[in-house]
A and B are shown apart, each in its own frame.
Chain A
Amino acid sequence: MTPSPQFIGRSMFDLDTYSPEEIMYILEAAKGMKEINLREYKKIPTLRGKTVCTLFIENSTRTRMSFELAANRLSADVVSFQASISALQKGESLQDTVYTLDAMGIDLYCIRHGSPGSPQLVNKYSHKPVINGGDGRHAHPTQALLDIYSIWEKLGDLKGLKITIVGDILNSRVVRSNLIGMQKLGAKVTVCGPKTLMPGNMESVYGCRVEYDLARALHDADVVMGLRMQLERMSEGLFPSLEEYSKHYVLSKNTLKHAKKNALIMHPGPMNRGIEILPEIADGSHSIIVEQVANGVAIRMALMFLIMGGKA
């Protein structure tokens, strides 16, 4: 496969600037990459001589490993910048950090940051392409792509699929990117969670359906995605206890009887078993949670390949 020119050198901040055709193109590319990952020798030489930097200002071992594995399997050199053990602790600005890294010859940045818009900032300072690996509550496009890929792999075309996402919508970058990507491909998305964890204007901003009642939200769903409930939301006064949350919003055999019988079960991880999802569901026959992780490496390989114009 020859990389399509519309991806070369292009940063991925979120899915909003990608057409449905471009998203499908990435999925097709990921399909090829997934095949490589299933080989005994999981490596191709396409990006030899290129250098990828994982710039993780906010810690995330799983996502960083996924990006680094992706780069390794394409034979790129990988350097890792972690805020917790770097000069940022000594007060260096992001701008100076990027200038320093740029001077060492980075070709692509994969950034994770707690503040929305930071990937754009890195791109502004370096002029090198950037893949957003999650910026605050804003966006997490590679997660959305791997979620979409996982659904597409199982169910084919997303057009007309009913997808329900349950949990802390307010604080979720996964939801925002998924809403953009899934709806671009024609899916009908419902978001569900307590009112205190639901941002205002969701319908007008995203054109999605908002439900506060789990049974109604799950009704007739083809795909159900749970989100991680974070303990610190309690101290922020947004909900009273995990127990009460679980009583109303847990994904269980009982609550999922409202969804389609074979509805796919997804979760971006890490899971709080017993809180937002019961083991009977997480480990059940319709769960594709582990496959999502595997597909994440393939999606990131596809993106790096397309952006850096590697040769097959």
Chain B
Amino acid sequence: MKILIQNAKIYQNSKLIKSDILIDRKRIAKIAPKLEVSADKVIDAAGACIFPGFIDLHAHLRDPGQTYKEDIVTGTKAAAHGGFTAICAMPNTEPVTDNIASVEYIQLRAKELGSSRVYVIGAMTKGSAGEEISEMATMKSGGIVAVSDDGKCVQNARLMLSCMRYASNFDIPLIIHAEDYNLAGKGQIHGGKVSTQVGLSGIPGLAEEVIIARDIMLAESSGAKLHIAHISTAKSLELVRQAKAKGIPVTCEVTPHHLVLTEEACVNFDTNTKMKPPLRSETDRKACVQALKDGLIDCIATDHAPHADFEKEKEFDYAPFGIIGLETAFPVLYKHLVQTKQISLACLVDALTCSPARVLNLPGGSLSEGSPADLTIIDLDKETVFTPQNILSKSKNSPWLNQSLPGTILWTICNGTITYQNQG
């Protein structure tokens, strides 16, 4: 099938240039200022911008095991709705994705029914129990792009060192969820001003920082490729800055919520402000924005974590951690960081496209002739109210519910197929 997109501006080399794009089957066939060719479908995208399809290194699809929260079909539909054409599935499913059969299940389901590419991240330890190394080499041959025990953190430094040495043996990147369990304790929100004010137990920044410090030292010793998930504090960033300066192969990601929200969002006990790591102080948030601008933070990842209403409609202490993020990532960041001139549009787009592709060596992330037909068409000025009715994820646990957001995604095309089309 040939798709011709006309009258848009396309994002190439950090610039928006007026161009038409012709897609022929799974590839971008032609990019030119004016294309006069026949096509099976013509999209008039006047006034809109075409970006490379977004790539998310961090999503929880809950499939298998918790499909009342999300499944591969709805999770990838949500991805397409948010302009994503590729997402990485975290392995904290039930059972845990810690073996080749589980990896293949996700790959097959995604290929058959998915609305985006799905790359599988395998568990780092068996059952993510933090006790024995998983069969990561076998999973690697089955196509995993990294290993992680995300949601959990290996507390045993000796085992972590083994994981790193073993993973580096097979050139598998490790993604860490940095959390010292004892320091985090029963913490519910950031250990700071608001935890003192509202009496919720605090998770101090130290709980993240001591593990990042440890794992940077272990990575230096083992030569492993380390990627730090959802970094959230100024001191964590300082540790990464030092590590990068020393040439240690470490990368990191930040979530949209840590770039936009702070602990102050928790004062009304809204369980859609409860996640790990917790929303931090304004100082930490500003440090994250600055680090994104400086390139110290490599990319943005959503940590899309769906939970059902009945799970979130609970006392703050009893509600699960996490929020959905695929459908709001670009609109929220465009509104709060680009429109407020804290970062450039190019900084935001690169952090959602070529940069995550580079971190895990994934295809895509740029628009050029011959590259995969993964793209998203966005009207930057058009506002849409983010209502529960227009969420495509099975879960609605978002702190941005019912807010009007710019950067409306009009179409998403993945592998030459239209995976999302705005009906508004």
Contact = CB atoms under 8 A, between A and B. Distances in A.
Interface string A234-270: 0000000000000000000000000000000000000
Interface in A77-121: 93-95, 113-118, 120-121
A138 B193 contact: no
Contacts of A200: 191-193, 196, 202
B197 interface: yes
A117 B199 CA distance: 9
A205 B196 contact: yes
Interface in B296-354: 310, 313-318
A137 B199 contact: yes
A116 B199 contact: yes
A201 interface: yes
A116 B316 contact: yes
16 contacts: A94-B315, A114-B317, A115-B315, A115-B317, A116-B198, A117-B198, A118-B315, A118-B316, A138-B199, A138-B200, A139-B199, A176-B197, A199-B196, A200-B202, A202-B196, A205-B196
Nearest to B189: A116
B200 A113 contact: no
Contact of A121 (B195, B201, B315): B315
Nearest to A95: B313
Nearest to B319: A115
A58 to B, nearest CB: 11
A3 interface: no
A20 interface: no
A173 B269 contact: no
A93 B195 contact: no
- If over half of A's interface residues share one DSSP class (helix, strand or loop), that class is named, otherwise mixed; here it is mixed
A124 to B, nearest CB: 9
Contact of A93 (B200, B202, B310): B310
B198 A199 contact: no
A120 to B, nearest CB: 6
Contacts of A114: 317
Interface of A: 93-95, 113-118, 120-121, 135-139, 173, 176, 199-202, 204-205
Of residues B195, B196, B201, B310, which shows the largest number of chain A Cβ atoms within 10 Å of its Cβ? Answer: B196
Given A95-B313, A136-B317, A117 B197 contact: no
Contact of A117 (B191, B310, B316): B316
Nearest to B204: A200
A40 B365 CA distance: 82
Nearest to B313: A95
Interface pairs A-B: 6 shortest CB-CB: A117-B269, A138-B199, A137-B199, A115-B315, A115-B317, A199-B196
B268 interface: yes
Contacts of B191: 200
